[in-house]
Amino acid sequence: MSLLKLPKIKGERIGSVQFDARPDALKRWEPGIQAAIDGEASIGIYEQIGESWDGSGMTAKRMSAILRGIGASRDITVNLNSPGGDFFEGVAIYNLLRQHQAKVTVNVMGLAASAASIIAMAGDDINMGEGSFLMIHNAWCMAIGNRHDMQAAAEQLAPFDNAMAEVYAARAGISVKAAAKLMDEESWIGATQAIEQGFATGMMESTDIKQDAKANAGIVRKIEAAMLAGGMSHSAAKTAISEFKSSLRDEGGKQPSDLAGDDVAASLQSLLSTLKGDQYVSRN
């Protein structure tokens, strides 16, 4: 990077655990909040981190390809609004941005939670939109196995928590112990507080942000979170959503992504309303 010397996060993927966006982050995420204008050297991350079951999501492989296309010598802007997701994909994307040879500006449009907050820390400049949040916490995952597997997973995650604390500490100019405390508390850090505490460098202009009503991918994630909160398993929720999306095909056999955005959004929003009630929808 051109301005900062941030620590690299090292780590091998843990095969016994699964990383996904946290339900509380999904609930507060507004996927339609995006940059008003995406320039030639800007990268929009308006989705979950890591490849989701339906093929969506920002991955390190995709980020690497985008950066190669832009070129190593050009300043870049990352427009970020994400509920997080796969920890290791977030780390890999952070490292890619950290190694970029020109200036990196990160604009947090709405939410940079969990793995997305790690990505945000790679910016030389980090700008926050009005009403935006960073959410930081210890590595969060779903582990499968017996008590020995659970203990092993906890032990494997500990070094990553320390590595993240070092990144947050370096960014904010605080001690690693203080950063670890914020992570233990699962902190939601608003725009003003982020600037005051050193996690961000400035505010964005309101005119630089728009609300895209046709952002359907985030609604799917919210539906999935609602199903999980209701006690459904991940596999059952994914199957139900896939079947619902298939039912939206028109007579010509087009997939929902090919249909009118407003129609798809309305159908998905109706399903979410059915699952959680109108009060939930209006709060989000």
Q: Residue 275 has what pLDDT? A: 56
Q: Please name the amino acid found at residue 105.
A: T
Provide CATH code, domain 17-211. Answer: 3.90.226.10
Distances 89 to 50, 63, 64, 199, 275 between C-alpha atoms, Å:
6, 10, 12, 21, 30
Angle between helices 147-172 and 176-184 (to 10 degrees): 130
Q: Residue 88 has what pLDDT? A: 86
Locate the domains of the chain by residue range: 17-211, 217-283
Q: Residue 113 has what pLDDT? A: 94
Q: What is the mean pLDDT, run by run of 10 residues, along the chain of 284 residues? A: 66 53 82 87 93 82 96 96 90 94 96 94 96 89 74 78 91 95 95 97 95 66 65 70 65 46 55 51 36
Burial class (CB in 10 A: 0-12, 13-18, 19+), 19: buried
Q: Find out whether 249 and 255 touch, Cβ atoms under 8 Å.
A: yes
Q: Find out whether 272 and 223 touch, Cβ atoms under 8 Å.
A: yes
The full DSSP string for the chain is --S--PPPP--PPPTTEE----HHHHHH--TTEEES---TTEEEE-S-BS--TTS-SB-HHHHHHHHHHH-TTS-EEEEEEE--B-HHHHHHHHHHHHT-SS-EEEEEEEEEETHHHHHHTT-SEEEE-TT-EEEE-S---EE-S-HHHHHHHHHHHHHHHHHHHHHHHHHHT--HHHHHHHHHTTEEEEHHHHHHHTS--EEPPGGGEEE-TT--HHHHHHHHHHHHHTT--HHHHHHHHHHHHHHT--TT---GGGS-HHHHHHHHHHHHHHHH-HHHHHH-
